[in-house]
Structure 1
Amino acid sequence: MNRTLRHVLPAVAAVLLTVALAACGESASTATGGGGTGAADPDTLVFAAVPSEQSTSLQADFKPVLDMLARETGKKIEFRQATDYAAVIEGQLSGQVQIAQYGPLSFVLAQAKGAAITPVGAQISAKGATPGYQSYAITKAGSPIKSIADFAGKKICFVDPNSTSGYLYPTAALLQAGIDPTTGIQPIFAGGHDASVLEVASGRCDAGFAEDSMVDTTLIQKGQLKPGDITTLWKSDIIPGSPVAISTSLSPELQAKLTDAFQNKANADYLKANGFCAGTCTVGDGGYWGYAPVDNAFYDPIRKVCDTTKNKNCTTAS
């Protein structure tokens, strides 16, 4: 896919998702009712998410959680798989999405653009873990590129303009190395963390960025990479984990039910014990155990990096 098309697709995807959500009917579009207006909560709650890798099975990955939410709330839970975070943000801004799984940057951006949302949990890989991960700068094994300073003038793969580990933190690293992220390199948006890594492994990108688990475990477990195929030459500070956010326009009672559901029941132990899944039980497409409670302040480090980099993607969706 050429680079021009990569930049056009996110905008098209946002339009398509908005149209698709509008087709959900009046029950979904009444999401702006609830808490602040006295209007009834919608009968259908729309849950939107973006896959962390090329996937057609994201709904199946979230099915145990969706079924649990339906039981806990008494509502129909309708899932929407979006192509990029811009589409999810537009869905929450328009009131068509009541629940959304975000990346940290896209959550901060959604709030900055005026979405009436609050984070209720962040993904964790194991019970009791602190929600967080890292961005890696990577090259193909044997590459002459040895540091981020060597990225100047090269074809560099990113994930998505609204990706935290796949763009925001990498741009901060490039700036620190004295490289302009837009003019000092040849930026290529791969569209997924897996795609960014595989483009580097194939040599189509000279170097790139992706989240830690995609490099360390996911692609190796899937047989798409062998240990040693990729060299990691930089690791970011710990990034606050990816949040799930709910609309604050819902009634306080429904918000409380959703908060309790994500913080105490949307986890592998509860879902398996209560028959929502059998065998290996994970939450989402990253093999997560579940969610840990978080609040708005937890994402202040993202806002600080935004202030430092003056990254336009912190205030405007690409």
Structure 2
Amino acid sequence: MIPPLRLAASACAALLALTACGESALDTPAPAERAGTLVFASIPSEESTSLRQSYEPIIAMLEQETGATIEFQNATDYAAVIEGMRAGQIDIALLGPFSYVLAKRQDPGITPVAAVVDGPGDQPGYRSYAITTPGSGITDLAGFAGRTVCFVDPNSTSGYLYPTAGLIEAGVDPAADITPVFAGGHDASALAVAGGQCEAGFAHDGMVDSQLVESGQLQPGQLTVVWRSEMIVGSPITVASDVDPQLRQVIADAFAQKANVDYLTGNGFCASAAECPVGEDSGWGYAPVDDALYDGVRRVCEVTEAESCTSLS
């Protein structure tokens, strides 16, 4: 059994910080009220109410490894999760690469420990896609000028930060040359383009290539990809700064060594490899990551000089 997880923090300050985030705030007890509990928060890339189910095997494994009860929070806003980690209300969180960089700047003690990979030995990473519909006349990012363009969220790496850098490098001023729309999710952005609410937009590769097609929400060929970003290091599982160092290492080791289909199936956390989710995004498991891997995101912030690179929206 891991020793007490946290020192008591100011519940009032924590609750105020989260309440300020409006509907995206997390209704989580203060640390002193949840001794022996770890709060794990994640944000769905699709409009989903079943996100917890995607983490059930990992939650069960983490409870065994840490001796703690894992309380899962389905959040809707990166800012709320970051504030929750700073306020001592969230212990473990899946952040986007961009949101991790923001969180690290505000609280240097936040630690990335792992990111999803497709197979053993793989490196975690994905791309941002610029999308439009066939027949739109748009063939590249320069063609986004004068158009209504869907982004995901101001704190989304592949849904805003890398797209903004791409537009700037293509000679399109994101502040003056387009009409931006923030759809709120990668699925919402892609579907808004497909449905004509936006003339073009951005979403991560997995959403466009497989997730929406497999769910039947998009038909093959319904969207056209006109730009692909450089490889973006995967979204990190992060641990809050005030988690005990011994516990932080237990969590890091658990993700790196046991949060994968092979281990979870072989040790009874999953009935079969075919039915063994390791998070919302399909994959085999997790690989270790460290802070230096996210320097590419920091470089894109320098290119864009985005306001959201220095403060939460």
TM-score by length of 2: 0.90
Deviates more, 1:94-103 or 1:278-287: 278-287
Residue in 1 that maps onto 2:102: 109
Q: 2:311 aligns with which of 299, 302, 316?
A: 316
State whether structure 2 residue 247 is matched by structure 1 residue 254.
Answer: yes
Residue in 2 that maps onto 1:301: 296
- Consecutive unaligned residues in structure 2, runs of 5 or more: 1-17
Q: Distance in 2 between matches of 1:255 and 1:25?
A: 16
Q: Deviations over 1:185-244 (max 9, x none)?
A: 110011111111110011110000000011111111111111111100000000011100
Tell me the secondary structure at the aligned position of residue 225 of structure 1: coil
Deviates more, 1:163-172 or 1:12-21: 12-21
Q: Distance in 2 between matches of 1:63 and 1:119?
A: 21
Q: Distance in 1 between matches of 2:196 and 2:36?
A: 49
Tell me the secondary structure at the aligned position of residue 119 of structure 1: strand
Partner letter of residue 305 of structure 1? V
Tell me the secondary structure at the aligned position of residue 21 of structure 2: helix
Does the aligned pair in 2 maintain the 1:45–1:77 contact within 8 Å? yes
Task: Report the number of matched residues.
Answer: 294
Q: 1:228 aligns with which of 221, 231, 247?
A: 221
Residue in 2 that maps onto 1:34: none
Q: Distance in 1 between matches of 2:259 and 2:26?
A: 29
Q: Distance in 1 between matches of 2:143 and 2:200?
A: 10
Partner letter of residue 277 of structure 2? T
Report the CA distance shift for 1:248/1:13 in structure 2 as closer, same or farther (over 3 A): closer
State whether structure 2 residue 182 is matched by structure 1 residue 189.
Answer: yes
Q: Distance in 2 between matches of 1:20 and 1:54?
A: 19
Q: Distance in 1 between matches of 2:284 and 2:150?
A: 29
TM-score by length of 1: 0.89
Tell me the secondary structure at the aligned position of residue 64 of structure 1: helix
Residue in 1 that maps onto 2:282: 287
Does the aligned pair in 2 maintain the 1:266–1:290 contact within 8 Å? yes
Residue in 2 that maps onto 1:39: none
Does the aligned pair in 2 maintain the 1:136–1:210 contact within 8 Å? yes
Tell me the secondary structure at the aligned position of residue 174 of structure 1: helix
Measured after TM superposition, the shift of residue 153 of structure 1 is: 1.6
State whether structure 2 residue 7 is matched by structure 1 residue 14.
Answer: no
Partner letter of residue 264 of structure 2? L
Alignment of 1:134-173 (within 5 A): 134-173=127-166
Alignment of 1:33-182 (within 5 A): 42-114=35-107, 116-182=109-175
Q: Distance in 2 between matches of 1:150 and 1:63?
A: 43
Q: Deviations over 1:70-112 (max 9, x none)?
A: 1100011111111121111111111111100011000001111
Tell me the secondary structure at the aligned position of residue 174 of structure 2: coil
* Percent identical: 53
Alignment of 1:15-30 (within 5 A): 15-16=22-23, 18=25, 20-21=27-28, 23=29, 26-28=32-34
Q: 1:202 aligns with which of 188, 195, 201?
A: 195
Partner letter of residue 27 of structure 2? A
Q: Distance in 2 between matches of 1:247 and 1:205?
A: 37
Tell me the secondary structure at the aligned position of residue 27 of structure 2: helix
Measured after TM superposition, the shift of residue 16 of structure 1 is: 4.7
Residue in 1 that maps onto 2:10: none
Q: Distance in 1 between matches of 2:204 and 2:115?
A: 16
Measured after TM superposition, the shift of residue 126 of structure 1 is: 2.3
Q: Distance in 1 between matches of 2:19 and 2:160?
A: 20
Partner letter of residue 280 of structure 2? D
Q: Distance in 2 between matches of 1:177 and 1:220?
A: 29
Does the aligned pair in 2 maintain the 1:13–1:82 contact within 8 Å? no
Measured after TM superposition, the shift of residue 12 of structure 1 is: 7.2
Does the aligned pair in 1 maintain the 2:26–2:80 contact within 8 Å? no
- Consecutive unaligned residues in structure 1, runs of 5 or more: 1-10, 29-41
Q: Distance in 1 between matches of 2:108 and 2:56?
A: 26
